[in-house]
Structure 1
Amino acid sequence: MIPLQRVPLSAHAQNLLTQATQRVEDAGATADAAREKWRGAAGTKSHVRKALESMARGAVRCMYCDDSRGTDIDHFEPLDRAPLRAFVWVNHLLACSFCNSNVKHRQYPVSKQGACLLVDPTAEDPAAHLVLLLAAGLYDPLSPKGEETIKVFGLNRPDLVKGRLDAFVRARSNLRDWHGLHQEGDPEAERVAQALLDSPFVDVVHAMTHLKPAAAAVVVGASTVAALGAWRAVHSGPVSPVS
């Protein structure tokens, strides 16, 4: 899971959402009413989907698992809990069908104080709550919120763990290839970089980029350290404390 920047909606799209919310309220503000209005709002949903796809990383990856293509508009806070948030822009995320229907579904754990215990990657940096252990392909919680996020989104299910381990091997090789081309000033370097950023499990690349420099040699191997340093200078912001 990586941080994502939520984009503003057009005034037209926001107006459509506001009108749809009013229709849900007029119909009784129940979960059933919200589902009925949502099912019948193809035009409004197309605006939401387009905006979400512009936010997603890579080839429109799921905002939860970073693997499969994002196909579903997920209501982060489910309609059973919050019918009037059915058409609220900040409650929409893009998910693959498996994460949306088979894993998260209607789960929404909260603390005793009622605070949400799931990380919304468009509202906060997931790194504050969970860390990707690159050598193991596993997410490790840093907080109760991280623990619930890993469990609810199934972030450590076997297929994702294997995918991340494979992606880690490929990413190290791709980084070395990119570095050589970059040093030579070959324009192919940017094509390699974009392919790496568009690949599944971009969370692996993100975690590598944000490794502490002192830990990089141990985690990625001595042969990749120079390439990672060059990549970090070109393709990352401030280094966060990931180990």
Structure 2
Amino acid sequence: MKRIIKSDIIPETLQNAPVPTNVKQVDKDIYRADDVCKQLLEDQHYQCAYCECRITKEYNDVEHYRPKSIYYWLGHNWKNLLYACDFCNRTCKNDLFPLKDESKRVTVPGNLEEEEPLILNPTSEDPTAHIRYNRHMLIGITDQGRTTIDLFKLNQRPVLIHDREQLFELYHRELSTLKNVRKLLESPDLPPESRAILVEISNLSSASIEQYKSKDTPYSGMLVNQ
């Protein structure tokens, strides 16, 4: 999971949307409008907000962080919307929204700051404060981190584990290459031709490392959180 910087510019459809007074007034044609989907996907670099897998508009969901079935008045609220893969949204989370203290749940418009959610919201919280990594596996270091990992099965889904492991290995292979090349470049006796080749290899490795760590790369949250 990685931090998501959400656009301050609210999509026009949501700017003009009414605030629902009950769950039946939550309109999917509003929160799933084209301009909403487009902005969410761009803000999230076309990755699921929870598991970081690559997503597109098709076959994935606009997800309500606080479920619309409970928090109906947030059904058209920009800050409450994320883009999530079908598995995270429908199979794992659905209408679940666990709190540290259920007695503090807000079920009518009120002060949401009284709640203490156990699911991380990567648009308002830094996941690195709650989740660490052992190689490509996630470790929760807070109740929120552990609940998020367990709820979304982030350490149980074979495709996620495989893809994270592959990125981890590629990243560390490039780090090793860069370290070795830079050590060779320290030699004062290198022929100019050899030095030029090593400099090129060094530049390519550095570029690969930066690409692996880029927010555009799925699972790169792992690499800035070792």
Provide TM-score, normalisation by structure 2.
0.73
Give 1:55's aligned residue: 43
Kindly indicate whether residue 202 of structure 2 is the aligned counterpart of residue 202 of structure 1: no
Q: Distance in 2 between matches of 1:132 and 1:41?
A: 37
Q: 2:39 & 2:206 partners in 1: Cα distance?
A: 26
Match of 2:96 in 1: 107
The answer on whether the counterparts of 1:21 and 1:85 sit within 8 Å (CA) in structure 2 is: no
Q: Hey, what does 1:231 align to over in structure 2?
A: none
The count of aligned residue pairs is: 192
Matched, 1:192 2:192: no
Q: 1:203 deviation in Å?
A: 2.2
Is the CA contact 1:178–1:193 (under 8 Å) kept in the aligned structure 2?
A: no
Change (3 A) 1:7 1:164: same
Cα separation, partners in 2 of 1:193 and 1:131, compared to 1, 3 Å: closer
Q: 1:148 to 1:128 in 2, by over 3 A?
A: same
Within 1, Cα distance between the matches of 2:156 and 2:91?
12
Residue pair 1:107, 1:152 contacting (<8 A) in 2 also: no
Cα contact 1:150–1:156 (8 A) shared by 2? yes
Change in Cα spacing, 1:185 to 1:68, as seen in structure 2 (3 Å) is closer
Q: Distance in 1 between matches of 2:22 and 2:170?
A: 48
Seq. identity, %: 22
C-alpha distance in structure 2 between counterparts of 1:72 and 1:178, whole Å: 40
Q: Given the superposition, is the C-alpha separation of residues 190 and 169 from structure 1 closer, same or farther in structure 2, using an over 3 Å criterion?
A: closer
In the alignment, is residue 68 of structure 1 matched against residue 54 of structure 2?
yes
Letter in 2 for 1:50: K
Residue segments in structure 1 that go unaligned for 5+ positions in a row: 209-243
Equivalent position amino acid for 1:152 in 2: L
Cα RMSD between the aligned structures?
2.7
**What is the Cα deviation at residue 67 of structure 1?**
2.1
Whether the 8 Å CA contact 1:178–1:192 is kept in 2: the answer is no
Choose from 24, 27, 31 the match for 2:23.
31
Preserved contact between residue 117 and residue 148 of structure 1 (Cα < 8 Å): yes
Q: 2:172: which partner in 1?
A: 172
Query: Which has the larger helix fraction?
Result: 1
Partner of residue 96 from structure 1, selected from 67, 81, 85: 85
Instruction: Tell me the residue number matched to 1:19.
Output: 16
Q: Which runs of 5+ in 2 are unaligned?
A: 105-114, 182-196
Change (3 A) 1:142 1:186: closer
**8 Å CA contact 2:97, 2:119 repeated in 1:** yes
> In 1, are the aligned partners of 2:175 and 2:205 still within 8 Å (CA)?
no
Q: Is the 2:178–2:202 Cα contact (8 Å) retained in structure 1?
A: no
- CA distance 1:166–1:117, shift in 2 (3 Å): same
What does the per-residue CA deviation read over 1:92-144, in whole Å, with 9 as the maximum and x for residues that have no partner?
1111111111111111101214321111111011111121211xx32222111
Distance 1:173 1:184 in 2: 17
Does the 8 A contact of 2:171 with 2:209 survive in 1? no
CA deviation string 1:148-205 (max 9, x = no partner): 1112222111412333222211221244557769954987567635642344321222
How is 1:146-157 mapped onto 2 (pairs within 5 angstroms)? 146-157=145-156
Q: Distance in 1 between matches of 2:210 and 2:5?
A: 19
Q: Which position in structure 2 is the counterpart of 1:219? A: none
Structure 1 length as normaliser, TM-score?
A: 0.68
